[in-house]
A and B are shown apart, each in its own frame.
Chain A
């Protein structure tokens, strides 16, 4: 019952040093280490000390990462905190309690980070909803696409050296895999009249195959798409990393384009109609299979975008897909699965709540906060914030 990498624990994200471009690390009192990304740098730093990288997990990498030393499992190397005290570039003990001169703006910074962290979540939630609403498919394999795309992109970039080629190639691959899922699996199941459970289970099967294929080909290590340190733009007391700027710009553009597509083209309204009632649309003579294929391809594209944005910012590994997807599903439920605006708003609310929890409470409670929010919303408004009440028979 082992073999899966130990997963990331997050704690005090948003903590950052006073001068953003200085190289700084420090140890929190309970074994957490502040460090600047990227992970490669971090791993080099410790491999010189004979440390086995998997015993370290990345906690938050924006723009200062906090790493936690996991207590060693039997047979695994441990790194004592002492070796870190002697590490290069460490100006002094930082501790979890930050210096007084930058602590007062950190709450605001945490909220800003939270909103920006919500952008990829909202993208992924939109990707999930765009399949869930018209096709009623709980598209778990989206998590597999989310995992595969950064690896494909990195492989193409390593081979050719052109990021301008690699990023579109990754996006297209993600879109293509999603379309294949529909063509080879969900369409056949739908033609057979299978239940939603069959779609869910087969999609889960595809997810398992995709993730394990990635792990077999590229290994289990955490990687990051960006090379070197990320540039940080100071804005008064606040600061933004390049990854965050890109994430915000790409996501906002996508949302606007998507909104225009929904309103101003001919396929957009068809998609909305299908989300409302697929059977009625089919009876009226529209080709719902083509629309479904379009929805899947579009979902794959959006998920790939979210994956690439996250991969540039905090890195990726084969096990990051399902947690990210489930977060997105929670976001889409909070927002309401009855409208296309729901997942976007839900993603932002969720990320803000997580960030606020991490900042004002403790970061190990972010998961608890996420699901407490989910349970609360499901209890008060089972259809989400943006949905009308349905009939009793219609609710799942």
Chain B
């Protein structure tokens, strides 16, 4: 039973991530590599707020959202005139800098979460068991309820927002920015807002992840994670509502499907045995993603359930 809880919670986390990334990739038409860094901002802020000040889940995660929204300006303001490859590189720059902060803001001797040792460097921080409305998040059931709640709220917000004039503005910006500027729309402001919303939602997912995994380290913010997130969204499909959900389902299906391959001797939920020093499940999973990306670009560039051809 715990295994299914694990899958369901994992699904809610990644579906929330995919929904937020879809705003940037599907509606704004921008590839970003900084998304995992904003995810990690949510995780770290949650970890620090709940450990230092004993905050419960909602205020701590809310603080994470606020921090991520403010820091999203670091990506959106310098890059507001870039598209395509140049935007990709700007997001990469932001990712490198934020990951550098998680990696380097630490010192020996002081407790994790204090001002001189904010992130505890590469060794990561353990996260205090949190609670929401008096329910302890040690219970997988409560955590799952919270995850479903977050997913539904985020999905509702995105849905309303993207079917509003603001959503149409983003779609127009993606399709023909010059024309929109010619019409006198404030394109840059719209993009700043879209990135802020996406960063806020992904920070919420990051807080949920931290509450579930009870441990955060700089690997959460790594470039590989950003690429994985991008792959999930591109495989699921961009530019509409169901694509990211399909992407998250594919993520779970691929990962768990590989776990049950006959030549991998491992129980569910554990790391597979090691061949040649590498983790086989992780390698095969990423390989499957790579193959899927290549095949999809040839046969279905809009993703499995997508509408807009991002690529």
Contacts and interface: CB of A to CB of B under 8 A. Distances in A.
B311 A4 contact: no
A4 B222 contact: yes
Given A217-B276, A374-B93, A4 B224 contact: yes
B82 interface: yes
Interface stretch (B57-65, B119-127, B153-161, B243-251): B119-127
Contacts of B52: none
A200 to B, nearest CB: 7
Interface residues of B, number: 63
A194 B311 contact: yes
Interface in B211-230: 213, 215, 217, 219-220, 222-225, 227
B297 A333 contact: no
A221 B278 CA distance: 9
B294 A195 contact: no
B310 A202 contact: no
A209 B271 contact: no
A6 B290 contact: no
B280 A202 contact: no
B267 to A, nearest CB: 17
B165 interface: no
A202 B178 contact: no
Interface string A3-21: 1101101000000000000
Interface in A210-259: 211-213, 215-221
Contacts of B223: 322-323
A201 B311 contact: yes
A213 B287 contact: yes
A172 B234 CA distance: 33
The SS class assigned to the B binding surface is helix
Contacts of A30: 108
B103 interface: yes
A73 interface: yes
Nearest to B276: A219
Contacts of A71: 106, 120-123
B271 A3 contact: yes
The SS class assigned to the A binding surface is helix
A221 B88 CA distance: 30
B279 interface: yes
A148 to B, nearest CB: 14
A47 interface: no
Given A216-B275, A371-B96, A209 B82 contact: no
B253 interface: no
Interface string B90-103: 10110011001001
B83 A396 contact: yes
Given A204-B293, A215-B283, A329 B89 contact: yes
Interface stretch (A90-98, A105-113, A293-301, A375-383): A375-383
A199 B31 CA distance: 13
Nearest to A57: B122
B122 A206 contact: no
B286 interface: yes
Contacts of B227: 204, 208
Contacts of B294: 185, 202, 205-206, 209
Contact of B217 (A73, A198, A375): A73
Contacts of A72: 123
Contacts of A333: 86, 89
A380 to B, nearest CB: 12
B293 A3 contact: no
A218 B84 CA distance: 35
A201 B290 contact: no
Interface in B266-287: 271, 275-280, 282-284, 286-287
B290 A189 contact: no
B188 interface: no
A70 interface: yes
A361 interface: no
A198 B297 contact: yes
A196 B85 contact: yes
Interface of A: 1-4, 6-7, 9, 30-31, 70-74, 138, 185, 188-189, 192, 194-202, 204-209, 211-213, 215-221, 318, 322-323, 326, 329-330, 333, 364, 367-368, 370-372, 374-375, 378-379, 382, 392-393, 396
The 8 closest A-B pairs by CB, nearest first: A219-B277, A208-B290, A205-B293, A371-B93, A197-B311, A71-B123, A396-B84, A209-B290
Given A73-B217, A138-B88, A208-B227, 10 more contacts: A4-B224, A188-B298, A192-B298, A201-B293, A208-B290, A211-B286, A219-B276, A364-B104, A378-B89, A378-B90
9 contacts: A3-B282, A4-B224, A71-B106, A71-B122, A197-B311, A205-B289, A219-B278, A330-B89, A375-B78
